Amino acid sequence: MAKDFVVAIELGSSFVRGIAGKKNADGSIGVLAYAKESSSSFIHKGYVYNIDRTAEAIRSIIETLSSNLKTRIKKVYVGIGGQSVCGVMNTIVRDFPTDTKITQMLIDNLMDTNWAVDYDGKELLECSVQEYKVDNQYQTDPVGIECTHIEGAFLNIVSRQSFYRSINKCLAAAGVPLAEVILSPQALADAILSETEKRMGCALVDFGADTTTVAIYYKNIMRHLVVIPIGGNDITRDITSLCVDDEEAEWVKIRHASAYRSGDGNGQEQQTISINTGDEITNGVLSNVVYARMAEILENVRTQIPEAYKDKLSSGFVITGGGANMPQIDTAISEILHTSKIRFARKVASQIITKIEDEDFNDGMHNTIIGLMAKGTENCAGAEFGNDDIFGAGIDVGSTEDEASSSVPDSSNVRIERPQIQPTKEQREEYVNVQQPSNVAATLKDHNEPIEEKTPDEEEFVDPEKNGGLRGFWNILKGMIKDEDEEK
Protein backbone atom coordinates (compact mmCIF):
# COMPACT_ATOMS: atom_id res chain seq x y z
CA MET A 1 0.00 0.00 0.00
CA ALA A 2 1.44 3.35 -1.07
CA LYS A 3 1.64 5.91 1.72
CA ASP A 4 3.32 8.82 -0.05
CA PHE A 5 2.24 9.95 -3.50
CA VAL A 6 0.90 12.91 -5.48
CA VAL A 7 -2.42 12.81 -7.34
CA ALA A 8 -3.04 15.04 -10.37
CA ILE A 9 -6.12 15.55 -12.53
CA GLU A 10 -6.08 16.84 -16.13
CA LEU A 11 -9.36 18.18 -17.53
CA GLY A 12 -8.84 17.50 -21.22
CA SER A 13 -11.25 17.86 -24.13
CA SER A 14 -10.99 14.15 -25.01
CA PHE A 15 -10.34 12.62 -21.59
CA VAL A 16 -10.29 13.52 -17.94
CA ARG A 17 -7.10 11.86 -16.75
CA GLY A 18 -5.93 11.04 -13.25
CA ILE A 19 -2.53 9.84 -12.13
CA ALA A 20 -0.87 8.94 -8.86
CA GLY A 21 2.87 8.74 -8.36
CA LYS A 22 5.89 10.64 -7.18
CA LYS A 23 9.22 12.06 -8.25
CA ASN A 24 12.10 9.98 -6.96
CA ALA A 25 15.38 11.21 -5.54
CA ASP A 26 17.27 10.16 -8.68
CA GLY A 27 15.02 12.32 -10.88
CA SER A 28 12.92 9.46 -12.23
CA ILE A 29 9.13 9.51 -11.97
CA GLY A 30 7.23 6.58 -10.53
CA VAL A 31 3.68 6.09 -11.83
CA LEU A 32 1.68 4.03 -9.33
CA ALA A 33 -1.84 4.27 -10.74
CA TYR A 34 -3.63 5.77 -13.74
CA ALA A 35 -7.26 6.21 -14.81
CA LYS A 36 -9.21 8.14 -17.43
CA GLU A 37 -12.79 8.92 -18.43
CA SER A 38 -14.06 10.18 -21.80
CA SER A 39 -14.91 13.90 -21.60
CA SER A 40 -15.76 14.96 -25.16
CA SER A 41 -19.43 15.47 -24.28
CA PHE A 42 -18.92 17.83 -21.32
CA ILE A 43 -15.53 19.54 -21.77
CA HIS A 44 -14.86 21.58 -24.91
CA LYS A 45 -11.61 23.38 -25.71
CA GLY A 46 -10.55 22.85 -22.10
CA TYR A 47 -13.67 24.53 -20.66
CA VAL A 48 -16.07 22.68 -18.35
CA TYR A 49 -19.63 22.85 -19.72
CA ASN A 50 -21.31 20.28 -17.49
CA ILE A 51 -20.30 20.40 -13.84
CA ASP A 52 -22.25 17.33 -12.74
CA ARG A 53 -20.80 15.05 -15.41
CA THR A 54 -17.29 16.40 -14.83
CA ALA A 55 -17.67 15.79 -11.09
CA GLU A 56 -18.89 12.25 -11.82
CA ALA A 57 -15.83 11.60 -14.00
CA ILE A 58 -13.48 12.95 -11.31
CA ARG A 59 -15.18 10.83 -8.65
CA SER A 60 -14.87 7.70 -10.79
CA ILE A 61 -11.17 8.38 -11.43
CA ILE A 62 -10.47 8.97 -7.74
CA GLU A 63 -12.22 5.73 -6.81
CA THR A 64 -10.22 3.79 -9.42
CA LEU A 65 -6.90 5.27 -8.30
CA SER A 66 -7.72 4.71 -4.64
CA SER A 67 -8.79 1.12 -5.28
CA ASN A 68 -5.55 0.35 -7.12
CA LEU A 69 -3.46 2.00 -4.41
CA LYS A 70 -5.46 0.50 -1.49
CA THR A 71 -5.28 3.97 0.00
CA ARG A 72 -7.77 6.81 0.21
CA ILE A 73 -7.01 10.11 -1.49
CA LYS A 74 -7.31 13.27 0.62
CA LYS A 75 -6.50 15.98 -1.97
CA VAL A 76 -5.62 16.44 -5.65
CA TYR A 77 -3.72 18.81 -7.93
CA VAL A 78 -5.63 20.05 -10.96
CA GLY A 79 -4.17 21.42 -14.18
CA ILE A 80 -5.69 24.47 -15.82
CA GLY A 81 -5.27 25.13 -19.53
CA GLY A 82 -7.25 25.27 -22.73
CA GLN A 83 -8.85 28.26 -24.40
CA SER A 84 -9.60 29.91 -21.05
CA VAL A 85 -5.89 30.60 -20.50
CA CYS A 86 -3.78 33.28 -22.16
CA GLY A 87 -0.74 35.47 -21.51
CA VAL A 88 -1.02 39.25 -21.07
CA MET A 89 1.96 41.60 -20.88
CA ASN A 90 1.96 44.28 -18.17
CA THR A 91 4.47 47.00 -17.23
CA ILE A 92 4.83 48.69 -13.82
CA VAL A 93 6.75 52.00 -13.74
CA ARG A 94 8.42 53.91 -10.88
CA ASP A 95 10.11 57.34 -11.19
CA PHE A 96 12.33 58.99 -8.58
CA PRO A 97 13.31 62.70 -8.21
CA THR A 98 16.98 61.82 -7.64
CA ASP A 99 19.23 58.81 -8.07
CA THR A 100 17.81 56.08 -5.85
CA LYS A 101 19.31 52.69 -5.11
CA ILE A 102 17.01 49.83 -6.01
CA THR A 103 16.29 47.55 -3.07
CA GLN A 104 14.62 44.16 -2.85
CA MET A 105 11.73 45.89 -1.11
CA LEU A 106 11.19 48.06 -4.21
CA ILE A 107 11.27 45.00 -6.49
CA ASP A 108 8.75 43.24 -4.23
CA ASN A 109 6.55 46.34 -4.40
CA LEU A 110 6.60 46.23 -8.21
CA MET A 111 5.61 42.57 -8.08
CA ASP A 112 2.81 43.21 -5.58
CA THR A 113 1.48 46.04 -7.72
CA ASN A 114 1.43 43.74 -10.72
CA TRP A 115 -0.43 41.02 -8.79
CA ALA A 116 -3.02 43.61 -7.76
CA VAL A 117 -3.97 44.39 -11.36
CA ASP A 118 -7.67 43.75 -11.92
CA TYR A 119 -8.51 41.84 -15.09
CA ASP A 120 -12.25 42.11 -15.56
CA GLY A 121 -13.74 38.62 -15.42
CA LYS A 122 -10.33 36.96 -15.30
CA GLU A 123 -8.21 35.35 -12.60
CA LEU A 124 -4.45 35.97 -12.44
CA LEU A 125 -2.83 32.53 -12.16
CA GLU A 126 0.88 33.03 -12.73
CA CYS A 127 3.30 35.92 -13.14
CA SER A 128 6.53 35.57 -15.11
CA VAL A 129 9.07 38.38 -14.65
CA GLN A 130 10.46 39.29 -18.08
CA GLU A 131 13.05 41.94 -17.29
CA TYR A 132 13.59 45.34 -15.67
CA LYS A 133 14.45 48.50 -17.55
CA VAL A 134 16.71 50.58 -15.31
CA ASP A 135 16.99 54.03 -16.90
CA ASN A 136 18.11 52.92 -20.39
CA GLN A 137 19.61 49.54 -19.45
CA TYR A 138 17.82 46.17 -19.30
CA GLN A 139 18.56 44.05 -16.23
CA THR A 140 17.31 40.76 -14.82
CA ASP A 141 18.52 41.54 -11.28
CA PRO A 142 18.55 45.32 -10.71
CA VAL A 143 18.97 45.26 -6.91
CA GLY A 144 21.79 47.62 -5.86
CA ILE A 145 21.74 49.79 -9.00
CA GLU A 146 21.03 53.50 -8.71
CA CYS A 147 18.55 55.08 -11.13
CA THR A 148 15.77 57.63 -11.53
CA HIS A 149 13.47 55.39 -13.55
CA ILE A 150 12.62 51.68 -13.44
CA GLU A 151 10.14 49.58 -15.38
CA GLY A 152 9.16 46.03 -14.53
CA ALA A 153 7.84 43.92 -17.42
CA PHE A 154 5.64 40.94 -16.50
CA LEU A 155 3.89 38.19 -18.45
CA ASN A 156 0.65 37.57 -16.56
CA ILE A 157 -1.11 34.26 -17.19
CA VAL A 158 -4.85 34.75 -16.73
CA SER A 159 -7.92 32.55 -16.95
CA ARG A 160 -11.62 33.22 -17.00
CA GLN A 161 -12.96 33.42 -13.44
CA SER A 162 -15.93 31.29 -14.45
CA PHE A 163 -13.57 28.44 -15.39
CA TYR A 164 -11.65 28.82 -12.14
CA ARG A 165 -14.92 28.62 -10.20
CA SER A 166 -16.06 25.64 -12.27
CA ILE A 167 -13.05 23.65 -11.09
CA ASN A 168 -13.95 24.35 -7.48
CA LYS A 169 -17.58 23.42 -8.11
CA CYS A 170 -16.61 20.12 -9.77
CA LEU A 171 -14.28 19.13 -6.95
CA ALA A 172 -16.82 20.13 -4.30
CA ALA A 173 -19.53 18.07 -6.01
CA ALA A 174 -17.10 15.14 -6.20
CA GLY A 175 -16.15 15.63 -2.54
CA VAL A 176 -12.43 16.06 -3.32
CA PRO A 177 -10.37 18.85 -1.67
CA LEU A 178 -8.05 20.81 -3.96
CA ALA A 179 -4.34 20.91 -3.15
CA GLU A 180 -3.43 23.50 -5.80
CA VAL A 181 -4.25 24.64 -9.33
CA ILE A 182 -1.25 24.24 -11.65
CA LEU A 183 -0.79 25.94 -15.02
CA SER A 184 -0.75 23.01 -17.47
CA PRO A 185 1.41 24.59 -20.24
CA GLN A 186 4.07 25.46 -17.67
CA ALA A 187 4.01 21.97 -16.15
CA LEU A 188 4.31 20.49 -19.64
CA ALA A 189 7.27 22.73 -20.50
CA ASP A 190 9.10 21.82 -17.29
CA ALA A 191 8.54 18.13 -18.03
CA ILE A 192 9.81 17.97 -21.63
CA LEU A 193 12.05 20.98 -22.36
CA SER A 194 15.75 20.87 -21.63
CA GLU A 195 17.57 23.71 -19.91
CA THR A 196 19.40 24.39 -23.18
CA GLU A 197 16.15 24.72 -25.12
CA LYS A 198 14.72 27.14 -22.56
CA ARG A 199 17.91 29.19 -22.51
CA MET A 200 18.64 29.29 -26.25
CA GLY A 201 15.02 29.88 -27.21
CA CYS A 202 12.33 27.53 -28.47
CA ALA A 203 8.64 27.32 -29.35
CA LEU A 204 6.75 24.56 -27.57
CA VAL A 205 3.70 23.48 -29.61
CA ASP A 206 1.18 21.12 -27.99
CA PHE A 207 -1.28 19.63 -30.50
CA GLY A 208 -4.37 18.84 -28.45
CA ALA A 209 -7.85 17.56 -29.27
CA ASP A 210 -9.68 20.90 -29.35
CA THR A 211 -6.83 23.39 -28.97
CA THR A 212 -3.20 23.97 -29.92
CA THR A 213 -1.04 25.63 -27.28
CA VAL A 214 2.06 27.67 -28.13
CA ALA A 215 4.58 28.69 -25.45
CA ILE A 216 7.72 30.68 -26.27
CA TYR A 217 10.82 30.34 -24.04
CA TYR A 218 13.97 32.46 -24.18
CA LYS A 219 16.73 32.90 -21.60
CA ASN A 220 14.97 30.44 -19.26
CA ILE A 221 11.81 32.58 -19.14
CA MET A 222 8.37 32.00 -20.64
CA ARG A 223 7.96 34.96 -22.97
CA HIS A 224 4.62 34.27 -24.61
CA LEU A 225 1.63 31.94 -24.17
CA VAL A 226 -1.36 31.56 -26.46
CA VAL A 227 -4.01 28.88 -26.97
CA ILE A 228 -5.31 28.47 -30.53
CA PRO A 229 -8.91 27.13 -30.54
CA ILE A 230 -8.28 24.53 -33.26
CA GLY A 231 -7.12 20.95 -32.75
CA GLY A 232 -7.28 17.35 -33.87
CA ASN A 233 -11.06 17.09 -33.41
CA ASP A 234 -11.51 19.74 -36.10
CA ILE A 235 -9.71 17.44 -38.54
CA THR A 236 -12.08 14.63 -37.55
CA ARG A 237 -15.11 16.87 -38.19
CA ASP A 238 -13.68 17.82 -41.59
CA ILE A 239 -13.47 14.13 -42.50
CA THR A 240 -17.17 13.70 -41.66
CA SER A 241 -17.89 16.09 -44.54
CA LEU A 242 -16.91 13.16 -46.79
CA CYS A 243 -20.09 11.33 -45.70
CA VAL A 244 -18.33 9.51 -42.85
CA ASP A 245 -19.86 9.28 -39.35
CA ASP A 246 -17.98 10.61 -36.31
CA GLU A 247 -16.59 7.32 -34.99
CA GLU A 248 -15.41 6.10 -38.38
CA ALA A 249 -13.96 9.54 -39.17
CA GLU A 250 -11.72 9.25 -36.11
CA TRP A 251 -10.67 5.76 -37.26
CA VAL A 252 -9.93 7.06 -40.79
CA LYS A 253 -7.86 9.90 -39.34
CA ILE A 254 -5.76 7.57 -37.17
CA ARG A 255 -5.28 4.85 -39.79
CA HIS A 256 -5.06 6.74 -43.09
CA ALA A 257 -4.67 10.51 -42.61
CA SER A 258 -1.44 12.34 -43.36
CA ALA A 259 -0.54 15.86 -42.29
CA TYR A 260 1.04 16.61 -45.67
CA ARG A 261 -0.84 16.60 -48.96
CA SER A 262 -0.24 13.83 -51.46
CA GLY A 263 0.56 14.40 -55.12
CA ASP A 264 4.04 13.01 -55.57
CA GLY A 265 3.03 11.38 -58.85
CA ASN A 266 3.39 7.74 -57.71
CA GLY A 267 -0.36 7.08 -57.96
CA GLN A 268 -0.81 6.67 -54.21
CA GLU A 269 -3.35 9.50 -54.15
CA GLN A 270 -5.70 7.35 -56.27
CA GLN A 271 -5.78 4.50 -53.78
CA THR A 272 -9.14 4.15 -52.07
CA ILE A 273 -10.37 3.68 -48.50
CA SER A 274 -13.59 1.73 -47.96
CA ILE A 275 -16.06 3.05 -45.37
CA ASN A 276 -19.10 1.50 -43.69
CA THR A 277 -21.63 3.18 -45.98
CA GLY A 278 -20.20 1.19 -48.87
CA ASP A 279 -18.62 4.28 -50.39
CA GLU A 280 -14.94 4.82 -51.01
CA ILE A 281 -12.63 7.78 -50.37
CA THR A 282 -9.45 8.29 -52.33
CA ASN A 283 -6.24 9.07 -50.51
CA GLY A 284 -5.93 12.24 -52.54
CA VAL A 285 -9.28 13.63 -51.37
CA LEU A 286 -8.61 12.68 -47.74
CA SER A 287 -5.12 14.17 -47.89
CA ASN A 288 -6.40 17.50 -49.22
CA VAL A 289 -9.06 17.73 -46.48
CA VAL A 290 -6.61 16.93 -43.68
CA TYR A 291 -3.83 19.14 -45.02
CA ALA A 292 -6.15 22.14 -45.37
CA ARG A 293 -6.94 22.04 -41.65
CA MET A 294 -3.39 21.21 -40.59
CA ALA A 295 -2.09 24.12 -42.67
CA GLU A 296 -4.58 26.42 -40.91
CA ILE A 297 -3.34 25.28 -37.49
CA LEU A 298 0.32 25.73 -38.42
CA GLU A 299 -0.30 29.13 -40.01
CA ASN A 300 -1.88 30.24 -36.74
CA VAL A 301 1.14 28.90 -34.85
CA ARG A 302 3.47 30.91 -37.10
CA THR A 303 1.36 34.06 -36.71
CA GLN A 304 1.28 33.80 -32.91
CA ILE A 305 5.07 33.88 -32.52
CA PRO A 306 5.96 37.48 -31.53
CA GLU A 307 8.21 39.34 -33.97
CA ALA A 308 10.70 40.02 -31.17
CA TYR A 309 11.42 36.29 -30.81
CA LYS A 310 11.15 34.93 -34.36
CA ASP A 311 14.92 35.19 -34.83
CA LYS A 312 15.75 34.04 -31.30
CA LEU A 313 14.45 30.48 -31.41
CA SER A 314 17.85 28.84 -31.74
CA SER A 315 16.50 25.51 -30.50
CA GLY A 316 13.65 25.59 -32.99
CA PHE A 317 10.27 23.94 -32.38
CA VAL A 318 9.47 21.26 -29.82
CA ILE A 319 6.34 19.35 -30.84
CA THR A 320 4.17 17.25 -28.51
CA GLY A 321 0.57 16.12 -27.97
CA GLY A 322 -1.55 13.43 -29.60
CA GLY A 323 -1.75 15.34 -32.89
CA ALA A 324 2.03 15.18 -33.21
CA ASN A 325 1.73 11.45 -34.02
CA MET A 326 0.15 12.09 -37.44
CA PRO A 327 2.36 10.87 -40.33
CA GLN A 328 4.34 13.51 -42.25
CA ILE A 329 3.59 16.25 -39.75
CA ASP A 330 7.31 17.03 -39.73
CA THR A 331 7.13 17.79 -43.47
CA ALA A 332 4.14 20.06 -42.98
CA ILE A 333 5.82 21.91 -40.11
CA SER A 334 9.03 22.34 -42.06
CA GLU A 335 7.20 23.79 -45.08
CA ILE A 336 4.75 26.10 -43.29
CA LEU A 337 6.91 27.25 -40.36
CA HIS A 338 10.03 27.52 -42.54
CA THR A 339 12.28 25.61 -40.17
CA SER A 340 14.34 22.46 -40.08
CA LYS A 341 14.87 22.57 -36.30
CA ILE A 342 12.11 20.26 -35.09
CA ARG A 343 12.15 17.92 -32.10
CA PHE A 344 9.26 15.62 -31.26
CA ALA A 345 8.80 15.15 -27.51
CA ARG A 346 6.73 12.00 -27.22
CA LYS A 347 7.80 11.41 -23.63
CA VAL A 348 8.93 13.47 -20.67
CA ALA A 349 12.61 14.08 -20.04
CA SER A 350 12.64 12.04 -16.81
CA GLN A 351 12.67 8.26 -16.80
CA ILE A 352 9.22 6.73 -16.17
CA ILE A 353 9.10 3.76 -13.81
CA THR A 354 5.77 1.93 -13.73
CA LYS A 355 4.17 -1.50 -13.64
CA ILE A 356 1.15 -0.32 -15.66
CA GLU A 357 1.21 -2.25 -18.94
CA ASP A 358 -2.02 -1.18 -20.66
CA GLU A 359 -0.99 2.48 -21.12
CA ASP A 360 1.76 3.85 -23.35
CA PHE A 361 3.31 6.79 -21.53
CA ASN A 362 5.60 7.49 -24.49
CA ASP A 363 2.94 8.48 -27.04
CA GLY A 364 2.97 12.23 -26.35
CA MET A 365 -0.57 12.23 -24.93
CA HIS A 366 0.46 11.73 -21.30
CA ASN A 367 3.16 14.39 -21.03
CA THR A 368 0.90 17.02 -19.46
CA ILE A 369 -0.61 14.78 -16.77
CA ILE A 370 2.85 13.47 -15.83
CA GLY A 371 4.15 17.05 -15.71
CA LEU A 372 1.30 18.06 -13.40
CA MET A 373 2.08 15.20 -11.05
CA ALA A 374 5.78 16.10 -11.05
CA LYS A 375 4.94 19.67 -9.97
CA GLY A 376 3.04 18.48 -6.91
CA THR A 377 4.82 18.72 -3.56
CA GLU A 378 2.20 17.71 -0.97
CA ASN A 379 1.40 14.12 -0.01
CA CYS A 380 -2.09 13.28 -1.29
CA ALA A 381 -2.31 9.90 0.46
CA GLY A 382 -5.01 9.47 3.07
CA ALA A 383 -5.90 6.53 5.28
CA GLU A 384 -5.47 2.94 4.17
CA PHE A 385 -8.50 0.69 3.78
CA GLY A 386 -9.08 -3.02 3.69
CA ASN A 387 -11.50 -5.50 2.16
CA ASP A 388 -13.85 -5.15 5.13
CA ASP A 389 -14.46 -1.46 4.44
CA ILE A 390 -18.22 -1.41 3.82
CA PHE A 391 -18.10 1.90 2.01
CA GLY A 392 -15.38 0.84 -0.43
CA ALA A 393 -12.51 2.88 -1.82
CA GLY A 394 -12.25 6.48 -2.86
CA ILE A 395 -12.19 9.84 -1.17
CA ASP A 396 -10.74 10.27 2.30
CA VAL A 397 -13.96 11.24 4.08
CA GLY A 398 -11.89 11.73 7.19
CA SER A 399 -10.29 14.84 5.72
CA THR A 400 -10.96 17.92 7.77
CA GLU A 401 -12.97 20.98 6.77
CA ASP A 402 -9.74 22.98 6.95
CA GLU A 403 -8.17 20.80 4.23
CA ALA A 404 -11.18 21.16 1.95
CA SER A 405 -11.46 24.90 2.47
CA SER A 406 -8.04 25.42 0.89
CA SER A 407 -9.64 24.77 -2.51
CA VAL A 408 -11.68 27.97 -2.54
CA PRO A 409 -11.03 31.69 -1.93
CA ASP A 410 -10.58 32.56 1.74
CA SER A 411 -13.96 33.91 2.77
CA SER A 412 -16.38 33.36 5.61
CA ASN A 413 -19.24 33.25 3.07
CA VAL A 414 -17.88 30.12 1.39
CA ARG A 415 -18.94 26.80 2.83
CA ILE A 416 -18.00 23.27 1.85
CA GLU A 417 -20.29 20.36 2.62
CA ARG A 418 -19.03 16.93 1.66
CA PRO A 419 -21.70 14.52 0.36
CA GLN A 420 -22.22 11.39 2.42
CA ILE A 421 -21.98 7.96 0.79
CA GLN A 422 -25.26 6.02 0.51
CA PRO A 423 -25.05 2.39 1.73
CA THR A 424 -26.64 -0.40 -0.31
CA LYS A 425 -29.98 -1.98 0.57
CA GLU A 426 -28.20 -4.99 2.11
CA GLN A 427 -26.05 -2.69 4.24
CA ARG A 428 -29.18 -0.83 5.43
CA GLU A 429 -30.73 -4.09 6.56
CA GLU A 430 -27.56 -5.04 8.43
CA TYR A 431 -26.99 -1.61 9.94
CA VAL A 432 -30.25 -0.13 11.27
CA ASN A 433 -28.82 3.18 12.41
CA VAL A 434 -28.24 4.73 9.02
CA GLN A 435 -28.35 8.48 8.47
CA GLN A 436 -30.10 10.36 5.75
CA PRO A 437 -27.73 12.52 3.65
CA SER A 438 -27.65 16.14 4.74
CA ASN A 439 -28.79 18.99 2.52
CA VAL A 440 -25.66 19.33 0.40
CA ALA A 441 -24.78 22.44 -1.57
CA ALA A 442 -23.92 20.88 -4.92
CA THR A 443 -21.60 23.61 -6.08
CA LEU A 444 -19.24 26.16 -4.64
CA LYS A 445 -19.95 29.81 -5.27
CA ASP A 446 -17.54 32.63 -5.63
CA HIS A 447 -17.08 34.51 -2.36
CA ASN A 448 -19.21 37.36 -3.73
CA GLU A 449 -22.14 35.06 -4.56
CA PRO A 450 -24.55 33.40 -2.10
CA ILE A 451 -24.61 29.64 -1.87
CA GLU A 452 -27.75 28.11 -3.33
CA GLU A 453 -29.25 25.46 -1.04
CA LYS A 454 -31.24 22.57 -2.50
CA THR A 455 -34.95 22.52 -1.82
CA PRO A 456 -36.47 19.40 -0.24
CA ASP A 457 -37.94 18.44 -3.62
CA GLU A 458 -34.44 18.40 -5.13
CA GLU A 459 -32.87 16.22 -2.43
CA GLU A 460 -32.20 12.62 -3.24
CA PHE A 461 -34.18 11.00 -0.41
CA VAL A 462 -34.41 7.21 -0.29
CA ASP A 463 -37.87 5.98 -1.34
CA PRO A 464 -39.84 5.31 1.90
CA GLU A 465 -41.91 2.63 0.10
CA LYS A 466 -38.72 0.57 -0.16
CA ASN A 467 -38.16 0.77 3.63
CA GLY A 468 -35.00 2.80 3.17
CA GLY A 469 -33.70 5.60 5.40
CA LEU A 470 -35.20 6.98 8.62
CA ARG A 471 -38.60 7.68 7.05
CA GLY A 472 -38.99 4.03 5.98
CA PHE A 473 -37.77 2.86 9.39
CA TRP A 474 -40.41 5.05 11.08
CA ASN A 475 -43.18 3.50 8.91
CA ILE A 476 -42.06 0.02 9.97
CA LEU A 477 -42.03 1.06 13.64
CA LYS A 478 -45.58 2.48 13.40
CA GLY A 479 -46.79 -0.78 11.83
CA MET A 480 -45.23 -2.83 14.66
CA ILE A 481 -46.95 -0.67 17.31
CA LYS A 482 -50.31 -0.97 15.51
CA ASP A 483 -50.02 -4.80 15.34
CA GLU A 484 -49.11 -4.95 19.02
CA ASP A 485 -52.19 -2.83 19.96
CA GLU A 486 -54.48 -5.09 17.93
CA GLU A 487 -53.15 -8.20 19.70
CA LYS A 488 -53.92 -6.60 23.05
Is position 402 within any domain? no
pLDDT band at 441 (very low <50, low <70, confident <90, very high): very low
Taking all residues of the chain, what is their mean pLDDT, rounded to a whole number? Answer: 82
**What CATH number is associated with residue 210?**
3.30.420.40
The tens digit of pLDDT for each residue in 111-131 reads: 999 999 999 889 999 999 999
Taking 70 as the threshold, does the pLDDT of residue 454 lie above it? no
Reported confidence tier of residue 267, pLDDT bands at 50, 70, 90: low
Q: Please give the tally of structural domains in the chain.
A: 4
Kindly state whether residues 167 and 259 are assigned to the same domain.
no
| Whole-number Å distance between alpha carbons of 177 and 402 | 10
The CATH number of residue 104's host domain is 3.30.1490.110
329 and 210 share one domain: yes
Are residues 226 and 295 both part of a single domain? yes
Q: What is d(CA 194, CA 330) in angstroms, rounded to the nearest whole number? A: 20
Inside any domain, residue 326: yes
Predicted pLDDT of residue 1: 63
- pLDDT grade, residue 429 (50/70/90)? very low
Q: Tell me: do 172 and 261 sit in the same domain.
A: no
Query: Would you say residue 482 lies in a domain?
Result: yes
Q: Are 240 and 266 members of one domain? A: yes
| 412 to 105, 121, 418, 447: CA distances (angstroms) | 32, 22, 17, 8
**Under a CB-based contact definition with an 8 Å cutoff, are residues 156 and 124 in contact?**
yes
335 and 227, same structural domain? yes
From 211, 78, 84, 87, select the one nearest 160 (Cα to Cα).
84
How much is the average pLDDT of 377-381?
94
d(CA 253, CA 247): 10
Q: Report the helix count and the strand count for the chain, using DSSP H and E.
A: 13, 21
Residues 6+ apart with CB under 8 A from 260: 287, 291, 294, 328, 329, 331, 332, 335
Kindly report the pTM of this predicted structure: 0.77
Whole-angstrom distance between the N-terminal and C-terminal Cα of the chain?
A: 59
Over residues 413-429, mean pLDDT = 42
Evaluate whether residue 417 is within a structural domain: no
DSSP secondary structure letters along 51-113: HHHHHHHHHHHHHHHHHHHTEEE--EEEEE-GGGEEEEEEEEEEEEEEEEE--HHHHHHHHHH
- Does residue 483 have a pLDDT over 80? no
pLDDT at 7: 97
| Residues paired with residue 202 on neighbouring β-strands, in sequence order | 217
Determine the structural domain holding residue 427 and report its residue range.
422-487
* Residues 174 and 310 grouped into a single domain: no
The answer on 206 and 325 residing in a single domain is yes
Contact 48, 170 (CB under 8 A): yes
202 in any annotated domain: yes
Confirm whether 261 is domain-assigned: yes
Residue 427 lies in a domain: yes
Write out pLDDT tens, residues 169-228: 999 999 999 999 999 999 999 999 999 999 999 999 999 999 999 999 999 999 999 999
Interstrand relation of 122-134 and 137-139 (parallel, antiparallel or unpaired): antiparallel
Residues 16 and 102 in one domain: no
Closest CA relative to residue 180, chosen from 35, 80, 86, 88: 80
Contact 128, 96 (CB under 8 A): no
Instruction: Tell me whether residue 354 is in a domain.
Output: yes
Residue 480 has pLDDT above 60, yes or no: no
The dihedral region occupied by 46, where left means phi > 0, alpha psi between -120 and 50, and beta the remainder, is left
Please determine, for residue 393, whether its predicted confidence score (pLDDT) is greater than 60.
Answer: no
Residue 127's DSSP bridge partners are 156
Task: Tell me: pLDDT of 440 over 50.
Answer: no
The dihedral through the CA atoms of 155, 159, 165, 170 has a sign that is: negative
Let me know whether 52 and 187 are in one domain. Answer: yes
Pairing outcome for strands 6-11 and 76-80: parallel
Query: Are 280 and 216 in the same domain?
Result: yes
Helix (H/G/I), strand (E/B), else coil: 422: coil
Cβ pair 215, 157 in contact under 8 A: no
Name all contacts of 326-329 with Cβ < 8 Å and 24+ positions apart. 326/253, 326/257, 326/258, 326/259, 326/290, 326/294, 327/257, 327/258, 327/259, 328/258, 328/259, 328/260, 329/259, 329/260, 329/294
What burial letters (b/e) apply to 36-61, b meaning 16+ CB within 10 Å? bbebeebbbbbbbebbebbbbbbbbb
Q: Do 91 and 128 fall into the same domain?
A: yes
As a whole-number percent, the residues of the chain with pLDDT over 70 amount to 76
